A = this chain, B = another copy of it.
């Protein structure tokens, strides 16, 4: 343990009912904050879209019905008590929410997460880059996954100096794409905070359902190892409005090892001591990027979106 050791809590959240008021959700988050505090946490990571039910599961023809799930300011009146209590305790936090940004005169909607330091300042904001699912209503599905309808994608992965290190954020589906971790790591990222809402049923290929937990850990662990960074993956989980979502929140070391894991499918906190100096064990040896990477061979990764097979 060094001076750059941070006690981090993964604050997993169980289902949020569609009619559950924001104030009640924030009360749950404050309760989790207190549990995290009891474990000595300096930073508490909440899930993606932590303030509401996972509304992209429904098709709404009317945008007014969608917009009730969005926040137009942050902190909002409803979330102010969380900011206040965290500030009082001197704890930093991160959570995801649906953001409506009217600052340009046109409404832009994002799947957003923010990073708040121990003095209550929002030091980082991230807009989800990899939006999964579909754009149009697909009635054949048992439930929808309309993130590509309701959100615009973000345009960058950024890092911030916070908690004594270099911190990045990603959201849910981003974690399955190795580019996510790599773009963060190329900016020196030592700690990636990743909230998720992952329905266990994947309608386009249900053979993947039984592998949901395995795939979740596989990508979080490989992302951590291959980039020498801590990764905190935090679920909103359990049966929410009839849809079963993956739990199994984890804190992963730069070695790829899981050092803490939630074992329920509800509101739960696990805390781990995350020594950011341990990143160097990988970043300065096997994964010394400057010494070993070969970007001149990686051209297709940025030149090409889809695969182009060789001629038959």
Contacts and interface: CB of A to CB of B under 8 A. Distances in A.
A255 interface: yes
Nearest to A179: B298
B290 A295 contact: no
Given A178-B178, A281-B205, A301-B179, A294 B130 contact: yes
Given A285-B204, A298-B301, A187 B221 contact: no
Interface in A159-183: 159-161, 166, 173, 176-179, 181-183
A136 to B, nearest CB: 13
A309 interface: yes
Nearest to A312: B161
A300 interface: yes
Given A187-B307, A301-B183, A176 B290 contact: no
Nearest to A220: B222
Interface size class on chain A is 35 or more
Contact of A187 (B160, B177, B204, B309): B309
A83 interface: no
Given A307-B283, A307-B289, A297 B202 contact: no
Contact of A221 (B176, B218, B307): B218
Given A155-B296, A157-B297, A178-B178, A186 B308 contact: yes
Interface in A253-312: 255-257, 281-283, 285-310, 312
A129 B307 contact: no
Copies of this chain, count: 2
Nearest to A161: B310
A285 B211 contact: no
Contacts of A188: 307-310
A202 B299 contact: no
A290 B176 CA distance: 15
Contacts of A295: 301-305
Interface in A212-231: 214-215, 218-219, 221-222, 225-226
Contacts of A161: 310, 312
A290 to B, nearest CB: 3
Interface of A: 129-132, 153-157, 159-161, 166, 173, 176-179, 181-183, 185-188, 202, 204-205, 207-208, 211, 214-215, 218-219, 221-222, 225-226, 255-257, 281-283, 285-310, 312
Given A186-B300, A293-B306, 12 more contacts: A129-B294, A177-B292, A178-B182, A179-B293, A179-B294, A182-B300, A183-B297, A187-B310, A188-B307, A202-B286, A218-B222, A295-B302
- The 7 nearest A-B residue pairs measured at CB: A290-B306, A188-B309, A222-B222, A178-B178, A204-B285, A186-B300, A289-B306
